[in-house]
Amino acid sequence: MIRWQDVFSKDGHPWRDAFTLADALALRDLASLKRFLDAVHIRYCLVRPYQELKDYPLVEGRELLPSFDNDMFEYKDLPGFAMVAFARELDYFSEIFQFDKLHPVLLGEGDASCPLEHQVMEQNLQTLAARLPRALQDTFRQEFRSVDTGLVESYPSLLPYLLQMDRAQVFAWDADRLFHLAGVFASFPSDIDSELKRFGIRIGKFVYGDSQMYERNRMFVYQYLMELYGFPIVSERRTSSALFARKLHKMGEHFILRVLGQSDRTLTTYTSDGENRRYPLVEKIALVRVDEDQEEALEAIGRDGFFLDPARRVVILRVTYRQHRFDASNVRQDRALSVAAQEVLNPLTGEALHGLNIIKDASNMFLRLNDIVRGEYTGRIIYKRNEVVENTDTHEKRLKFLYSWLSKHQRRMISYSDEFFAKVSKVVTGYLYSPKNVEIFDTMHDLHQEVCTRFSYIQQARRVHILEDISHRLYKGERISYRRMTREAVALLHELQYEIVNFFPDLVDDIIACVETILHDRYLTRTYIDVPETALTPAGQEIRKNYGKLVALLDRIRAVRKSRLACEEHQAREAVA
């Protein structure tokens, strides 16, 4: 296995500014190539800028936690690139993307060299130089005039120049099945319109030719599709990389695709060998500062020598994600991605430290919530994807921070334990409905109401999530009988029928769908409903009685939905008039 300290020169500090490899490399499989690229890209695209810039913008742990925030800043002094690698030789005419081809000097058959070796090297040199800014071309030609630029050993020294190109790098096999730099200036196709519409139709959010439905659901589908591949709706470089990875995976290619955005400062990598065969595996690597209150993590990282910068508690963090199929019947249907694993990487060896929870620690999230409502949180959030808010020194900022916090963690809060959510609820309601804040919140009524509505949605969604489980005969992780299923469903619906005065159409639709699932259960109806009452045991009679209550409760909820929708349609017509 390649160790990071063996990739580069063995003399001196492993992060010194040196580009010479310790030995020649013969990389034949994607796993070995990825290990090599991890070492090179982390060293020169993350660590080197961190060491050279006094105010390097470290990535906050929460930025790596889905759902992802929109970028508000582009750090033009930081590197950005895209790259794809194929575990095969390239067929130039038949490839589905455009790039400038570089030729290997070796022709296969052992170490046989091309008889026109110098001409091939010169042609590669000119191809590379032509895609560089004019000011760098002469320097580049002079530096690499006698270098085989296609070899992976040359890649670290080429990288500073490759980072000046707008488009992507390409790796592939040569005739001996060894990886080499096979192309530059690649353009990844991004047919976002067709992909978006196909995906939306497949998950039932679009119907062919229905423009109104398309307009209502377009942003949801767009955000869900992008989040499946680890991004919000972002720049063209990252959008095209994500969609190209999707296309390659569908074609059955064996590949690595990597992209670094100047905005997100994060190496995002797609590989085709993940366990989830429906989608390529997604992982992100970034420089993250560990919170000072994560004492156990800090102790383990320091003890094992995994800090990049101990004084500032900076680590190299790799997060691997799990994609989820869209489920319209799940109240958390917007959950496209979740964290599968977190690893802190050793800056000297690349060894991974497992078992730490740097970005997903629930107690840490609770502390942040307390800091927000007390006005003690120092940091920066993006409010509604278009406004940067610094710190929490005013109530307006606290409300905006709280709205963003609730939006960020909404899907996780729906699944929190009752005990943990009770603690969260106590803090949130204690702030939003405190008598001493009434006059202050009256001056910012719309913003306050917005936050209250967001929290009400989460509270209601938690109950709907429980109803979803009940409809599948599950309750708090336990398999339950039909008798208890109907009993728990009736009790929950009695509460929900009064809560839907805070009308959230999607949640009401979910409630109706869950109750219909129970009422249409074939075994339930065949055994307890479609039989004479005299044939039922006392338990069966209770089930039938609860069945009738569910029918009545469902009718009431449908009536509320019909009335509210009619009222909204009337208001919309009046607004147009």
- Residues 399-424: tens digit of each pLDDT: 999 998 888 888 788 877 888 888 88
Least confident of 74-83, 85-94, 291-300: 291-300
Q: Which residues contact 501 (CB under 8 A, 6 or more apart)?
A: none
Residue 396 has pLDDT above 60, yes or no: yes
Between CA 97 and CA 47 the distance in angstroms is 31
Least confident of 82-86, 91-95, 232-236: 232-236
Residue range 19-41, pLDDT digits in tens:
667 667 788 899 999 999 999 99
pTM: 0.80
Q: Are 168 and 188 spatial neighbours (Cβ–Cβ below 8 Å)?
A: yes
Which residue blocks in 304-393 are alpha helix, DSSP H? 362-374
- CB contact burial 329-363 (16+ within 10 A = b; e otherwise): ebbbbbbbbeebebbbbbbeebbebeebebbbbee
The stretch 207-230 carries a mean pLDDT of 88
Q: Looking at per-residue confidence, does 14 or 536 come out higher?
A: 536
Between CA 577 and CA 571 the distance in angstroms is 10
Residue range 315-339, pLDDT digits in tens:
999 999 988 888 776 666 667 888 8
pLDDT given at position 268:
94
The stretch 54-59 carries a mean pLDDT of 88
Q: Are 248 and 229 spatial neighbours (Cβ–Cβ below 8 Å)?
A: no
Instruction: Kindly list the distances between the CA atom of residue 361 and the CA atoms of 87, 321, 412, in Å, as whole numbers in the listed order.
Output: 38, 16, 12
pLDDT given at position 320:
92
Instruction: Kindly list the distances between the CA atom of residue 142 and the CA atoms of 117, 122, 134, in Å, as whole numbers in the listed order.
Output: 18, 12, 14
What are the φ and ψ backbone dihedral angles of 563, each rounded to 5 degrees?
Answer: -65, -45
pLDDT given at position 286:
95
**Helix (H, G, I), strand (E, B), or coil: what is residue 75?**
coil
Instruction: Kindly list the distances between the CA atom of residue 372 and the CA atoms of 368, 392, 424, in Å, as whole numbers in the listed order.
Output: 6, 6, 12
The stretch 369-393 carries a mean pLDDT of 83
Residue 342 has pLDDT above 80, yes or no: yes
Residue 17 has pLDDT above 60, yes or no: no
pLDDT given at position 12:
46
Q: Transcribe 425-490 into DSSP letters.
A: HHHHHHHHT-GGGHHHHHTTHHHHHHHHHHHHHHHHHHHHHHHHHHHTTEETTEE--HHHHHHHHH
Residue range 455-472, pLDDT digits in tens:
988 888 888 889 999 998
The stretch 423-446 carries a mean pLDDT of 90
Q: Transcribe 175-205 into DSSP letters.
A: TTS-EEEEEEEEE----HHHHHHHHHHHTTS
Residue range 99-148, pLDDT digits in tens:
999 998 865 554 555 556 788 889 999 999 999 999 999 999 998 988 88
How many of the other CB atoms lie within 10 Å of CB of 182?
A: 24
State the distance between the two ends of the chain, measured CA to CA, in whole angstroms: 71
Model confidence at 10, in pLDDT bands (50, 70, 90)? low
Q: Are 239 and 226 spatial neighbours (Cβ–Cβ below 8 Å)?
A: yes
For the chain, what percent of residues have pLDDT higher than 90? 37
pLDDT given at position 363:
65
Per DSSP bridges, beta strands 474-475 and 387-390 are unpaired
Residue range 182-195, pLDDT digits in tens:
999 999 988 888 88
Mean pLDDT for the chain overall: 86
Least confident of 207-211, 214-218, 270-274: 270-274
Q: What is the dihedral of CA 480, 484, 486, 488, to 10 degrees?
A: -100
Q: Are 471 and 489 spatial neighbours (Cβ–Cβ below 8 Å)?
A: yes
Domain layout of the chain by residue ranges: 4-97+188-353, 361-442, 444-577
Residue range 219-277, pLDDT digits in tens:
888 888 888 888 888 878 888 999 999 999 999 899 999 999 888 899 999 998 755 57
Least confident of 196-200, 388-392, 516-520, 536-540: 388-392
Run of H or E including 130: helix 117-130
pLDDT given at position 272:
87
**Helix (H, G, I), strand (E, B), or coil: what is residue 387?**
strand
CA 28 centroid distance within chain: 30
Q: Transcribe 258-304 into DSSP letters.
A: EEE-TTT--EEEEETTSS-TTS-EEEEEEEEEPPTT-HHHHHHHHHT
